């Protein structure tokens, strides 16, 4: 089976009702990203960050995978699909995708502030000051904040280098190092990008499908019909 690597961003979950970041009325229009999604903000006002991520976690739980997520899970019948996502929601997993690498963390998890190897699946969606890890230190959202290392980047690069086909879905390619992943795709492979408002200045080799994720993945499946084996 050919390996289809997907790089997804917030646009992947837009049709599930989860706001993107840099679109019109995106999340960063309402909040100052450095006030709610940076390690400095966590040290300054942890309660604010816990509330911000509680709200996003509750919204995620009220959302459902959209057609784009479901079709990607369906594609596992014909391709070795590996998803690398910048999203912190669990919609790819809930749609049935079995290989999902989260570059920027996961809303469903919390981790120790003393020992980052201690990661817990959250039972209660509302985190608060006083929720402690087994070593007695405050729990924090298992999210990669601005100013922090993207620890999964090496794994994502290795995975991208093994792709037979790459498809970028729903990301403005604004945030590095994630945005740089497309440069690690083997030179000879087909690269697709699904986005109703595709980023400008894309490399000429990228085949743009200017649609929302749901319709875009359906078009991708048609395009891939002649490469599946």
Q: Which residues contact 183 (CB under 8 A, 6 or more apart)?
A: none
Contact between 97 and ligand APR by CB under 6 A: the answer reads no
Question: Of 69, 92, 104, 142, which residue is the catalytic one?
Answer: 104
Contact between 54 and ligand APR by CB under 6 A: the answer reads no
Residue number, 107 or 133, with CB nearest to ligand APR = 107
Structure tokens at 14: 């837009």
Mark residues 121-140: x for contact with ligand APR by CB under 6 A, - for none: --------------------
Q: Give the one residue of 23, 35, 76, 152 binding ligand APR; rule: CB under 6 A.
A: 23
Residue number, 54 or 171, with CB nearest to ligand APR = 171
Q: Are 20 and 173 contacting, i.e. CB atoms less than 8 angstroms apart?
A: no
Structure tokens at 10: 């917030």
Nearest to 42 by CA among 113, 91, 115: 113
Contact between 106 and ligand APR by CB under 6 A: the answer reads no
> H or E segment at 8?
strand 3-8
In the region spanning residues 71 to 90, those forming contacts with ligand APR, defined by CB under 6 A, are 86
Structure tokens at 64: 């459902």
Classify 53 as helix, strand or coil: helix
Active-site residue 102, yes or no? Answer: no
Q: What residues act catalytically?
A: 104
């Amino acid at each position: 089976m050919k390996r289809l690597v997907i790089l997804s961003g917030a646009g992947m979950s837009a049709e599930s009702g989860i706001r993107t970041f840099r679109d019109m009325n995106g999340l960063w229009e309402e909040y100052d990203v450095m006030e709610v999604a940076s390690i400095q903000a966590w040290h300054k006002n942890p309660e604010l960050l816990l509330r911000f991520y509680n709200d996003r976690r509750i919204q995620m739980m009220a959302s459902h995978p959209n057609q784009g997520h479901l079709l990607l899970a369906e594609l596992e019948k014909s391709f070795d699909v590996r998803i690398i996502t910048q999203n912190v929601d669990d919609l790819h997993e809930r749609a049935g995708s079995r290989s999902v690498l989260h570059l920027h963390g996961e809303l469903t998890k919390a981790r120790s502030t003393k020992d980052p190897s201690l990661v817990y699946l959250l039972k209660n969606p509302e985190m608060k000051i006083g929720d402690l890890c087994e070593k007695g230190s405050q729990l924090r959202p298992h999210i990669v904040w601005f100013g922090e290392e993207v620890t999964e980047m090496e794994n994502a690069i290795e995975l991208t280098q093994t792709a037979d086909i790459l498809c970028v879905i729903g990301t403005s390619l604004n945030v590095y190092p994630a945005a740089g992943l497309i440069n690690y795709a083997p030179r000879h492979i087909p690269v697709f990008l699904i986005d109703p408002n595709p980023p400008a200045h894309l490399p000429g080799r990228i085949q743009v499908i200017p649609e929302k994720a749901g319709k875009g993945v359906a078009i991708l499946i048609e395009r891939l019909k002649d490469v599946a084996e």
